[in-house]
Structures are given as structure tokens and as C-alpha cells.
């Protein structure tokens, strides 16, 4: 019945998050400007990399795109929103090395189910938790 899910992160600006994701080999694969003037900021972008697809959309773009088509305009928030992403990784040390200097918001911890996690705030304020899952006992 369902075939895929991709989070759409609503932010004030997309450009500040590009370097954060680039450090993890996640890049913009499609984008739409926020307006038609010269030097217009990005209004919508699809980021993709190994095992990851994310969409970012600016508040202004949501207003111009989704609200125009909405039958219930009150259902849509018209401000940037914070999201929490949980991303499984095979090597947490590699992620930590690539994100050195980024805003660490949660130091390493081990969960009750044995995963080791580490959390960062990307430049738009969304929280990204990276988790190296426990190896199954064999």
C-alpha cells in the first residue's frame, strides 16, 4: 500500500544546510527557486545520498505552493518548524569525524536496545540523531 516516505523540512532558508549535508555525501539533486527574480534563494530542494532522501522547503515557498492548493489552509503552519531525524549509520566514528565543528547537541549515548547515538543540530535548527545499531549476537 505504501511505497516510500521522504520528510519535508520547513525552514526559513535552505542554503545554510547545504554544507552540513555535503560533509555526509548528501547533495541537492533537484531544486526550485523561491521566486523568479535574479539571485533568488532556493525555495525547495531534494537532497539525496547513499540511503538518504530529504526535502527542504522554505516558509515562503510553502505559502506560495501548498497554501494556494489547500482546502484547509489552517492545517498548515506558516513558520519554520523543527524536525527530528533518526538516521542509522554503519560507522558512527566516521560521521563524527566528518561533522567535526558542527553543533553537537547530544553526546554519545547507548540506548536500552544497544544502539550508540550522537546528535547534531543542522544549521536550520533541525535535530539529526545518528545511530550505530548494536550488532546481533551470533
This prediction's pTM = 0.90
CATH 3.10.180.10 fits 8-72+80-132, yes or no: yes
| CB-CB neighbours of 44 under 10 Å | 18
Question: Would you call 74 helix, strand, or coil by DSSP?
Answer: helix
State residue 107's pLDDT score.
97
| For residues 106-117, average pLDDT | 96
State residue 138's pLDDT score.
33
| Dist CA 28 CA 19 (whole Å) | 11
Query: Percent of the chain beyond pLDDT 90?
Result: 78
| Dist CA 134 CA 128 (whole Å) | 19
| For residues 123-129, average pLDDT | 97
Report pLDDT digits (tens) over 6-56: 999 999 999 999 999 999 999 999 999 998 888 999 999 999 999 999 999
State residue 69's pLDDT score.
86
Contacts of 65 (CB under 8 A, 6+ apart): 43, 44, 57
State residue 136's pLDDT score.
64
Query: Percent of the chain beyond pLDDT 70?
Result: 98
Q: What's the grid cell of residue 14?
A: 535552505
Q: Is 120 a residue whose pLDDT tops 90?
A: yes
Amino acid at each position: 500500500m505504501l511505497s516510500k516516505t521522504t520528510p519535508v523540512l520547513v525552514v526559513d532558508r535552505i542554503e545554510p544546510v547545504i554544507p552540513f549535508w555535503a560533509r555526509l555525501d548528501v547533495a541537492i539533486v533537484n531544486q526550485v527557486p523561491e521566486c523568479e527574480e535574479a539571485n533568488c534563494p532556493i525555495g525547495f530542494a531534494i537532497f539525496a545520498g547513499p540511503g538518504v532522501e530529504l526535502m527542504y522547503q522554505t516558509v515562503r515557498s510553502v505559502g506560495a505552493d501548498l497554501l494556494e492548493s489547500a482546502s484547509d489552509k489552517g492545517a498548515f503552519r506558516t513558520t519554520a518548524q523543527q524536525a527530528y531525524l533518526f538516521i542509522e549509520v554503519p560507522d558512527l566514528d566516521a560521521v563524527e569525524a566528518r561533522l567535526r565543528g558542527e553543533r553537537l547537541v547530544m553526546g554519545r549515548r547507548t540506548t536500552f536496545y544497544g544502539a550508540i547515538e550522537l546528535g547534531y543540530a543542522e544549521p536550520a535548527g533541525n535535530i539529526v540523531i545518528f545511530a550505530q545499531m548494536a550488532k546481533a549476537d551470533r
